[in-house]
Amino acid sequence: MSKISISDLELHYSNFNALKNVNLEIPEKEITAYIGPSGCGKSTLLKSLNRMNDLIEGCKITGTVLLDGEDIYRGMDINLLRKRVGMVFQKPNPFPMTIYDNVAFGPRTHGVRSKVKLDEMVEKALRDAAIWDEVKDRLKKNALGMSGGQQQRLCIARALAVQPEVLLMDEPTSALDPISTSRIEDLALELKKEYTIVMVTHNMQQAARISDNTAFFLLGEVVEFDKTEELFSMPKDKRTEDYITGRFG
Amino acid sequence: MVRSRFDSQLEQLDVEMIKMGALCEEAINASMKAFLENDDVAAQIASEKENEIDRKEREIEALCMRLLLQQQPVARDLRLISSALKMISDMERIGDQAADIAEITAFLKDNDTKSKVHIRDMGIAAIKMVTESVDSFVNKDMKLAKSVMEYDDVLDNLFVEVKQELIDLIGKDKANGEFCIDLIMIAKYLERIGDHATNIAEWVEYSITGSHVKMAMEEGNK
């Protein structure tokens, strides 16, 4: 069953047509990977799923993106949308505050005031992000003192704290070492039991390792979308084959 | 040219596969010569070729492992390398069977009966299948791979023919018994060589199309 349903999506940055007639069904509680060369539109599409492109001047979007059947561009409250669809970026970006306050930031914004409730939410989010054991004794320390891998897991915890349904990850491990990368990948596999994950990655092996579905983008178009195993063993389109085998261009 | 190093390593894999295929042909040729001409030197050559085939298998295995490690292949590259890994196991078995034939010939008394049965034809058919199966891999020739699979019936029919010829010979004179049993073993080894060549052709099909004829049939039966 589709969690997100994208139909006839077109996106222009002024005169530049960044997404062309995108149609994709993103299954619930699975990991969907977007791959493709730089500038192909994969991050643009990811950002379109929680309306982060709306902030950019000259951005024009047509078509529909349905979240559980509701059109996110027509009538949905943007704060509610971003609560339901969280995002983790390429570079870990914790706020310059304590570990606890980073994770509590979202729930507080959404009106949670009870200390007991906040403590519960922070612990659950940190546990779900597989970082609780490493930080439970230093929750009041500044988050900027953590390692890159820990900061990224903290950012995932921060996204999870508002109990989203979908987690968007834009190259979440490209700034991390192999051990931290492996932790994030294991975490993504664990998280998909509860969340729908959409991940942009330049690391083809990562897409092959952890995603259930993969979409290959080129020049703003979805060239091929299939089960990951199928796409990486028997791609149907020659452009996909050339890209994933490294013979592109 | 992107990935030119990888492409040259894949060409190297083709070259090594051709060499291993050629060694298999030489081994079968030598074992057939040993059998048909009572040639001890040829029997020795078949045994040496088997050792060379084993070494070549190790070399190709190492090359494939290196390619998997360094290039992390996907799609057609992954299918090609994994097919090569499977094919060399079949080629190694072909080498064993050629050596087994040569070994039997050492104990075989000279007897003109052997020219009366169709083992020579089986040898020719087996070599043709091995050569063409490896050629189909190197040239990514689906048509040739299919024709190898089909040609296995020719070899199987020859085996049935040889078996009947040997039954008739034993029927005529029981003293032929031991000799005929040795001959049926040789015929069976050649028939098995045909099966291995067929396996190779099936892996060629997988490498080209992504589907394996046997797997597809098993799926269909479920």
A233 with B78: Cβ contact below 8 A: yes
More confident residue, A1 or B203: B203
Q: What is the pLDDT of residues A200-241, one digit of tens each?
A: 999 999 999 999 999 999 999 999 999 999 999 999 999 999
From B201's Cα to the closest Cα of chain A, the distance in A is 19
Q: What is the pLDDT of residues A46-63, one digit of tens each?
A: 999 999 987 788 999 999
Residues 65-104 of B with CB under 8 A from A: 72-79
Domains, chain A, ranges and CATH?
2-98+164-244 (3.40.50.300)
Residues of chain B scoring pLDDT < 70: 1-2, 110-116, 215, 220-222
B75 with A204: Cβ contact below 8 A: no
Above pLDDT 90, what percent of chain A? 86
Of the candidates A204, A248, A249, the beta carbon closest to that of B74 is on A204
- Per-residue burial over B16-32, b = 16 or more CB atoms within 10 Å of its CB, e = otherwise: bbebbbebbbbbbbbbb
Cα–Cα–Cα angle for B8, B87, B221, rounded to 5 degrees = 125
Domains, chain B, ranges and CATH?
4-217 (1.20.58.220)
Is the pTM for the entire model greater than 0.90?
Answer: no
A178 touches chain B (CB under 8 A): no
A234 with B73: Cβ contact below 8 A: no
Sheet holding A221-227, edge to edge: A85-88, A166-170, A196-200, A31-35, A213-218, A221-227
Chain B residue numbers touching A205 (CB-CB < 8 A): 72
Residue A180 has pLDDT above 60, yes or no: yes
B212 touches chain A (CB under 8 A): no
pLDDT grade, residue A20 (50/70/90)?
very high
Q: Which of B72, B74, B78 to mutate to test the interface with A (most CBs of A within 10 A)?
A: B74
CB A4 within 8 A of CB A196: yes
When pLDDT is averaged across residues A87-104 and rounded to a whole number, the result is: 95
pLDDT grade, residue A96 (50/70/90)?
very high
ipTM over 0.85: no
Residue A146 has pLDDT above 70, yes or no: yes
Chain B residue numbers touching A246 (CB-CB < 8 A): 2-3, 6
